[in-house]
């Protein structure tokens, strides 16, 4: 994916995210910047427009397990990284 594809992308991490999930958001932003030169926007909620990477947890997954999904939502791309815990979110981000 080109650097232009990441222009204006938002990394969404909930306010109550575990420390490892907060680190995952920072790491995603850092790696996107290093690869593209574009610094993502950090947010606590999914914005109404623009592409986004959304981090979250689902305790029905194993502690270290994660699921990565992509979707088209109202004409934009939304990537979801869901872990069984903050550790799972961090693993999925890497």
In a domain, 18, yes or no: yes
In a domain, 3, yes or no: no
Per-residue model confidence (pLDDT) at position 2: 55
Total of domains in the chain: 1
pLDDT at 15 over 70: yes
User: Distance between CA 41 and CA 80 in Å, rounded?
Assistant: 16
Secondary structure percentages of the chain, helix, strand, coil, to 5? 30, 30, 40
Q: Which of 29, 26, 38 is nearest to 2 (CA)?
A: 38
User: Distance between CA 30 and CA 68 in Å, rounded?
Assistant: 19
Which residue segment(s) compose the domain that 81 sits in?
Answer: 11-93
pTM metric for this prediction: 0.87
Tens of pLDDT, residue by residue over 21-80, are: 999 999 999 999 999 998 999 999 988 889 999 999 999 999 999 999 999 988 899 999
Query: Which distant-in-sequence residues (6+ apart) come within 8 Å of 47 by Cβ?
Result: 10, 12, 41
In this prediction, residue 6 has a pLDDT band, given cuts at 50, 70 and 90, of low
Per-residue model confidence (pLDDT) at position 7: 61
Per-residue model confidence (pLDDT) at position 3: 55
Instruction: Please report, for the domain that includes residue 68, its CATH number.
Output: 3.30.379.10
Per-residue model confidence (pLDDT) at position 42: 92
Per-residue model confidence (pLDDT) at position 73: 85
């Amino acid at each position: 994916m080109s650097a232009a594809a990441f222009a204006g992308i938002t990394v969404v991490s909930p306010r109550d995210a575990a420390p490892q999930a907060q680190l995952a958001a920072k790491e995603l932003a850092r790696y996107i910047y290093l690869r593209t030169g574009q610094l993502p926007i950090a947010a606590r909620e999914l914005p109404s427009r623009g592409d986004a990477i959304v981090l979250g947890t689902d305790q029905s997954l194993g502690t270290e397990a994660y699921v990565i999904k992509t979707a088209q939502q109202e004409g934009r791309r939304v990537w979801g990284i869901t872990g069984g815990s903050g550790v799972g979110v961090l693993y999925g981000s890497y």
